[in-house]
């Protein structure tokens, strides 16, 4: 019977951006599935949300990739810059960094079964005709962030004949550890529902725990290299619906305050200038305003449902409730 039994080795993966909001949730999910995780981090002294987890840390960045272990099954490229004090920084990280990362994988002869690149709906731009954005919609990004993510996609697809590559264009993500929705929820806690003084825009949202399930699923399906999927809740919402869910979670009776677009623009400009003096990136700036004034950021997710078997597990209320509870427990709200 010698040799009849053999040891089944755990799946081995490399994750970039593991110390961040999405990456840390992805790593936690992978560990639950008994995956051997190797995480690329810039600073070993600041592991943030993945401190103490049973993973292998690799210190380095896209431009100085350390020696990687052999036998990597999957690569999850979740790292990226979502806010910056200088426009050029978006392109350095999201465009040139992605190109350098893929070239380093090739030079080290890392040949995973698949690389999953986390992009954004910002790479394709808003819906210009009121119809949900499809994977085949011609890209027309409107911000430096969106343009840099599209350029990152282009760099990744240059390697589609070297590595099997899947691109996920993700809607607006929220959940525990997120900072982008935090300011909005702080207003909700005060009993105020800030609302645009215009028709509410449609948003394709994605709760982070649903998102990382989709990311994992995309690694487990037989797909052609260069396939793109929109990932979000199939039902678009408006910002008011998110605020109302947060108000219910906080037990607050909300007073809706309609804010004219010129006032929002002025606030964005002031915030941007202030943060340049502080030398810290702003959550709210003129690029974010440009996103806000669009009528629709709705995405068609039927392809992900059909091909990835992706189905969201959380209702909007459940997702917001869990997020609010985490903020309160961690004294963010």
Looking at every residue in the chain, the average pLDDT score rounds to 92
Q: Which of 204, 170, 175, 172 is nearest to 318 (CA)?
A: 175
Residue 272 covered by a domain? no
At residue 79, the pLDDT reads 96
Residue 324 covered by a domain? no
End-to-end CA distance of the chain: 61
Place 146 in a pLDDT band, splitting at 50, 70 and 90.
Answer: very high
Residue 196 covered by a domain? no
Residue 2 covered by a domain? no
- pLDDT tens by residue, 42-92: 999 999 999 999 999 999 999 999 999 999 999 999 999 998 888 999 999
At residue 293, the pLDDT reads 80
Residue 223 covered by a domain? yes
Percent share of the chain, pLDDT over 70: 96
- pLDDT tens by residue, 169-224: 999 999 999 999 998 999 999 999 998 766 667 899 999 999 999 999 999 999 99
Question: Which of the pair, 102 or 200, is modelled with greater confidence?
Answer: 102
At residue 186, the pLDDT reads 95
Report the sign of the C-alpha dihedral through residues 257, 261, 262, 267, in that order. positive
Range of the domain at 215: 12-172+204-234+298-313
At residue 7, the pLDDT reads 47
Number of domains comprising the chain: 1
Q: Residue 322 above 60 pLDDT? A: yes
- pLDDT tens by residue, 277-320: 777 777 777 888 788 788 889 999 999 999 999 999 999 999 99
Q: Residue 229 above 90 pLDDT? A: yes
Residue 269 covered by a domain? no
At residue 8, the pLDDT reads 55
Q: Residue 9 above 70 pLDDT? A: no
At residue 4, the pLDDT reads 41
Residue 318 covered by a domain? no
At residue 199, the pLDDT reads 66
At residue 265, the pLDDT reads 79
To the nearest 10 degrees (0 to 180), the angle between helices 208-220 and 21-32 is 60
CA distances from 224 to 115, 166, 218, 297 (A): 12, 8, 11, 27
| Rounded average pLDDT over 1-25 | 78
Token representation of residue 110: 């890392």
- Please state, in angstroms and rounded to a whole number, the distance separating the CA atoms of residues 265 and 33: 45
CATH assignment at residue 69 = 3.40.50.720
Q: What is the pTM of this model?
A: 0.93
Residue 268 covered by a domain? no
- pLDDT tens by residue, 234-285: 999 987 999 999 999 999 999 999 888 888 878 878 877 877 777 777 777 7
At residue 1, the pLDDT reads 42
Place 19 in a pLDDT band, splitting at 50, 70 and 90.
Answer: very high
229 DSSP β-pair partners: 168
């Amino acid at each position: 019977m010698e040799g009849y039994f053999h040891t089944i080795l755990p799946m081995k993966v490399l994750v970039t951006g593991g110390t961040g909001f999405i990456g840390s949730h992805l790593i936690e999910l992978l560990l639950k599935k008994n995956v051997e995780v190797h995480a690329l981090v810039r600073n070993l002294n600041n592991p943030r949300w993945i401190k103490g987890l049973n993973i292998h840390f690799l210190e380095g960045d896209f431009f100085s990739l350390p020696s990687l272990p052999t036998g990597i099954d999957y690569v999850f490229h979740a790292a990226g810059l979502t806010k910056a004090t200088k426009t050029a920084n978006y392109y350095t990280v999201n465009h040139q960094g992605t190109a350098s990362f893929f070239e380093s994988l090739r030079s080290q002869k890392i040949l995973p079964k698949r690389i999953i690149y986390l992009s954004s709906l910002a790479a394709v731009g808003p819906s210009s005709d009121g119809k949900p954005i499809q994977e085949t919609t011609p890209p027309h990004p409107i911000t430096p962030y969106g343009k840099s993510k599209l350029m990152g996609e282009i760099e990744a697809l240059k390697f589609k004949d070297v590595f099997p590559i899947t691109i996920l264009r993700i809607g607006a993500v929220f959940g525990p550890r997120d900072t982008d929705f935090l300011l909005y929820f702080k207003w909700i806690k005060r009993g105020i529902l800030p609302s645009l003084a215009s028709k509410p825009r449609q948003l394709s949202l994605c709760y982070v725990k649903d998102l990382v399930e989709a990311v994992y699923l995309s690694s487990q399906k037989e797909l052609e290299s260069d396939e793109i999927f929109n990932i979000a809740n199939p039902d678009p919402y408006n910002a008011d619906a998110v605020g109302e869910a947060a108000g219910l979670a906080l037990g607050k009776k909300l007073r809706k305050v309609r804010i004219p677009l010129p006032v929002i623009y002025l606030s964005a400009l002031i915030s941007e200038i202030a943060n340049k003096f502080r030398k810290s990136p702003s959550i709210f700036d003129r690029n974010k305003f440009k996103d806000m004034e669009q009528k629709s950021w709705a995405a068609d997710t039927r392809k992900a449902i059909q091909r990835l078997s992706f189905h969201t597990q959380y209702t909007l209320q459940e997702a917001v409730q869990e997020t609010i509870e985490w903020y309160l427990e961690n004294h963010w709200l």
